[in-house]
Amino acid sequence: MDKFEAAIFDLDGVIVSTVPLHFKAWKKMFSEYGKEFTFEDYKKKVDGIPRVDGARAILTDVTDEELKKACDKKQVYFLELLKSEGIDTYDSTIKLMGQLKDRGIKIAIISSSKNLPLILEKINIHPLYDIYISGHDITKGKPDPQIFQMAAERLDVPCLNCVVFEDAVLGVEAAKRAGMRCIGVDRYSKPERLSKADTVVSDLSQLSFKKIRALFVP
């Protein structure tokens, strides 16, 4: 029987609000290539996927070498913003992580971004998670399920017994492809974006251990 044993939290948009910083960094970089970049573009083409894939979605006409330069520029701009503006966490997510940990649920934090270790250092929540998987660990971006399968493997929990918290469309798709339960976190007041998730909330304060466990009861 399926049993709730592990929770996998996406970083950006679920635990921390790095979206404004990422968007500003992408916009600045793309403007140097004469490309308009809107927040809609960010949500549809860049959010939740590896940096090089996001860059390629907009810079369709540059060489691989130039694409790498563009990605490096974006990273520099992001780190500058991280330093100057800091980073906000979602308190309700931190609280839920603590409650699940107290219940003996294993916890992983994942991100396609290579900035994950740096951000975890900044927000200092080490007691709340068992492992993390970052862009340094994976070879395939979402919607490929690799990052979630890797998390389950390192937690030593079957995929069927994991729940994923995701705010990105491709992240929800990847979680479902991994055979996991998925809770969509709708930060844009457009829950239909995440319709492939098992349930959608606007904030994790709407959840409890009991409500999450109910996803595993046939």
Q: What are 88-127's pLDDT values in tens digits?
A: 999 999 999 999 999 999 999 999 888 899 999 989 999 9
Residue 12, domain CATH = 3.40.50.1000
**162 touches 5 (CB < 8 A):** yes
53 lies in which domain range? 19-85
Residues 79 and 23 grouped into a single domain: yes
Condensed to tens digits (0 to 9), the pLDDT of residues 13-31 reads 999 998 899 999 999 999 9
What is the identity of the amino acid at 118? L
Residues 97 and 151 grouped into a single domain: yes
Q: Which of 2, 12, 130, 203 is catalytic?
A: 12
- pTM for this entry: 0.85
**12 touches 22 (CB < 8 A):** yes
Residues 55 and 94 grouped into a single domain: no
Residue 59, domain CATH = 1.10.150
Q: How far apart are CA 124 and CA 48, in angstroms?
A: 22
- Looking at 34, 58, 85, the residue that finishes a domain is 85
Q: Which of 2, 10, 137, 144 is catalytic?
A: 10
Would residue 41 show up in a list of annotated catalytic residues for this protein? Answer: no
Lowest mean pLDDT among 32-36, 48-52, 64-68, 207-211: 48-52
Alpha helices in 34-126 (DSSP H): 39-41, 51-58, 64-85, 91-102, 116-123
- Looking at 53, 68, 85, the residue that finishes a domain is 85
Would residue 61 show up in a list of annotated catalytic residues for this protein? Answer: no
Residues 186 and 100 grouped into a single domain: yes
Residues 143 and 116 grouped into a single domain: yes
Secondary structure class of 62 (helix, strand, coil): coil
